[in-house]
Amino acid sequence: MAKVFDAAEVVKHTSADDCWVILYNTVYDVTEFLPSHPGGTKIILKLAGRDATEEYDPIHPPGTLEENLKPEAKLGTVDPATLPKPNAGETEKVKIAAEPPGMQSLLNLDEIEEVATKQMSKKGWAYYYSAADDLISKKLNNLVYKQILLRPRIFVDCTRCDTSTTLLGHKVGTPLYVSPSAMARLAHPHGEHGIAQGISQFGALQIVSNNASMTQAQIVDGSAPGQIFGWQIYVQNDRKKSEVQLARINKMSDKYKFICLTLDAPVPGKRELDEKAKDEPSSVSAAVTVGDSAKRPGGGGIGQQLFFGTASDLTWKTTLPWLAKNSPLPIVLKGLQTHEDAYLAMQYAPQVKAIILSNHGGRALDTAPPAVHTLLEIRKYCPEVFSRLEVWVDGGIKRGTDVVKALCLGARGVGIGRAALFGLGAGGTDGVRRTFEILQAEIEACMRLLGAEKIDDLGPKFINSRAVERDIYDGHPGLENVGMWAKANL
C-alpha cells in the first residue's frame, strides 16, 4: 500500500539534490529527472515541495510521467487535508469568468477572440496572443489581406457553391486547415481532441503539434471517417527521440497522412508578452535567445522550455534523407518565407509534397514577410513551383475573404492557428465548431458574390493585389550587392 504523506513533509524537499513534487495527489521524487527536463531545472525547482498539478497538467500529455520517471520515483500519495487551501485571488488560476455567451451569438473571429481572452488564463492567453518583438509581422499578416481588393463578377449563376478540394490527394471539405500549435489544453480542457471534434463536420484537416498537450492517439480518437491529420515534428538534437516519435506516427497512418517539418523557428523568437507572464511558475515561455544562458536576458532559463533539445542544425542535404529513412509518409515543409526556398523545395519533390508559406504567426522573427508576399514572389519568380508542389499558407486569417484571396493567388490550403485556439478557449469544441462555421459561411458568401462555384474556379482575376505587389522583394535592381565588400582591400 502506498505511503501517505503530509504536505508539510513534502515541502522539505526543494533542492536540486532532493526534489519532490505532488502531481495528481501522488508524491514523486524527481531529483534524478531534473537535469533532463526539457524545460530546464529551474522551472521544476520553483514548484518543488508542493502540488504542481495545475501547472503541469495542461501542458503535458498523459503518459509523460510514466515515460520519464522510474517506478521507484513514485513515493506515495499526499493527504489532501494537509494541502494548503487555494488562494482565492490566485492569478495563476484559470479565471472563473462569467459564463461565456452562446457560441451562436458570436458573429466573427474577433468576437470569439474577445470571449476567449476573458475565459482563458492570463498565461495561456499571453502565450497564444504574443508574437516576436513589436508584433509587426503579426499585424502585417492580417493587414496584407485587407489591402487586397476583390473583383466580383455579375450575372453568374451562384446557386451552387462547393468548397471541397483535395490536399495531398486526400478529399477535404474545405481548404481551411488547423495549423500545428502547442498545448491546446492551456485554452480549454477539450484540448487538441476538442479541435478535432469541432472541425469534423467540415471535413477539415488538422496538423497536430509536436508539443500537443494530448497524445496523438487521444486526439484522433472518435474522428469522422475520412477525417485526416498531419503530424508536426520538431527534430530533436537527440535524433533517437525523434525516430521513436516518427515510428509511433507511422503506425497511425490511417489517420496521420503526412509529416509536417517546421523550419521557421530553429531558435525561439522573442515573445515579450509571453516572457512577461513567465514569472508565474509555469513551464510555458519563450526565450529571448539560445546559447549561453548567462547572457540570456530576462528568460532565466524558463523561457526556453519548449525549444529545449530542438535541433538547430537541420539542412536540406541531411534532414530530408534522414526523414525518408524513418518514415514513408510524405513531407510538408513549413515556414518558407522566400521564393528561393520554394524553388529549392521543388527539387525535393516528390518526397516533399507541399510547402507551407508561414512566418510562424509572426512569432519567430519580427518583420519577416507575410505568406502573401512569398506567394506573390513565387508567382513572379518561379511559378513552376505551383505545378510541382502544393503551396499552403497560414498567418493572419480573420475572414472568409482572406481565405479566398489566398486561394486566388495560388494557395491550395489555408491554415488557421490562433483562431482555432481562441475558438477552443471561448467554448471548447463548440467554439472551434463555431469558428469554422463562420469562416465557411464567409468563404461561401465570398465565392458566390465573386461568381465562383468551385475552389478551382478561383484565380488572380478575382483580386486586385497591386497595393501589395509593389512591396514585394524585387532583388534590389539598381542596388549593387555589396554583401562581400568586407573582403575587399581597405
Residues taking part in catalysis: 234, 264, 360
Please, what is the minimum distance in Å from the beta carbon of residue 485 to a second copy? 4
Nearer to a second copy, 50 or 405 (CB): 405
Please, what is the minimum distance in Å from the beta carbon of residue 84 to a second copy? 28
Nearer to a second copy, 37 or 146 (CB): 146
Please, what is the minimum distance in Å from the beta carbon of residue 433 to a second copy? 10
Q: How far is CA 211 from CA 64, 182, 242, 353, in A?
A: 12, 5, 12, 23
Q: Can you read off the three cell numbers belonging to residue 67? A: 515515460
CB atoms < 10 A from the CB of 45, how many?
18
Nearer to a second copy, 220 or 432 (CB): 432
Contacts 24+ apart (CB under 8 A), 70-75: 70/32, 73/28, 73/29, 73/30, 73/32, 73/33, 74/2, 74/26, 74/27, 74/28, 75/3, 75/5, 75/20, 75/27, 75/28, 75/29
Nearer to a second copy, 53 or 338 (CB): 338
With beta carbons less than 8 A apart as the criterion, state whether 39 and 302 touch.
Answer: yes
Nearer to a second copy, 50 or 433 (CB): 433
Burial of 352 (0-12, 13-18, 19+ CB in 10 A): buried
Quote the DSSP letter at residue 374. H
Please, what is the minimum distance in Å from the beta carbon of residue 298 to a second copy? 5
Q: Can you read off the three cell numbers belonging to residue 179? A: 495549423
Q: Can you read off the three cell numbers belonging to residue 3? A: 505511503
Quote the DSSP letter at residue 3. E
With beta carbons less than 8 A apart as the criterion, state whether 307 and 267 touch.
Answer: yes
Please, what is the minimum distance in Å from the beta carbon of residue 271 to a second copy? 10
